[in-house]
Amino acid sequence: MLTRDDRTLPDAQSIWEDVASVGVTHVGCKDVGLPEPQLASFLSAVRAAGHTTYLEVVSETPEDELRSAEVALRVAPDYLIGGTQVEPVMRLIAESRMKYFPYVGRIVGHPCLLRGSIDEICEDARRVEQQGADGINLLAYRSPFAGSVRAASDIGIRTPRSAATSAARS
């Protein structure tokens, strides 16, 4: 993720250009921080280099999240991750080729924090899986029990997952 404090870096494209040749093949950014034309140009350049792209929704309101999903349709990342409005987002992107990995658990604030008990988070993950999401985005390192979150395979979740694992990352 070319981000800081849950915002895409203003110079994300030039940073990516500096590191693109060192073996980085998965590149992500947030739905906030860059104007849409610049975001589209950045993601297009990354895809043209054969790399996989991710757009993470960190918008705080349901309305902003749906607007971000509409932007995602126009800028076309390979993966749309984050957000909590599972059913409406899935309807919006249904005809696209994007994979969708929403957050699970109770997400609060900005930068996004994961709240809820482990059992509640696991139940939410199962709910999202049943709704047909392609995977889940688990904010494990932004939880009060970071380091103690059980592996998804240990709790009966078959869906692929993206888990942020280092407090040094954002």
| pLDDT tens-digit map of 67-88 | 999 999 999 999 999 999 999 9
Q: 141 lies in a domain? A: yes
Q: 17 lies in a domain? A: yes
Q: What Cα–Cα distance (Å) separates residue 113 from each residue in 42, 89, 104, 167?
A: 27, 21, 11, 11
Q: 13 lies in a domain? A: yes
Q: 147 lies in a domain? A: yes
What torsion do the CA atoms of 127, 130, 132, 133 make, to the nearest 10 degrees?
30
pTM of the model: 0.83
Q: 134 lies in a domain? A: yes
Q: 94 lies in a domain? A: yes
| pLDDT tens-digit map of 106-135 | 888 877 788 888 889 889 999 999 999 999
% residues pLDDT > 70 (the chain)? 82
| Greater model confidence, 35 or 107 | 35
Domain extent, residue 120, equals 3-163
- 60 contacts: CB under 8 Å, gap ≥ 6: 109, 110
Number of domains in the chain: 1
User: What is the domain-level CATH number for residue 30?
Assistant: 3.20.20.70
Q: 168 lies in a domain? A: no
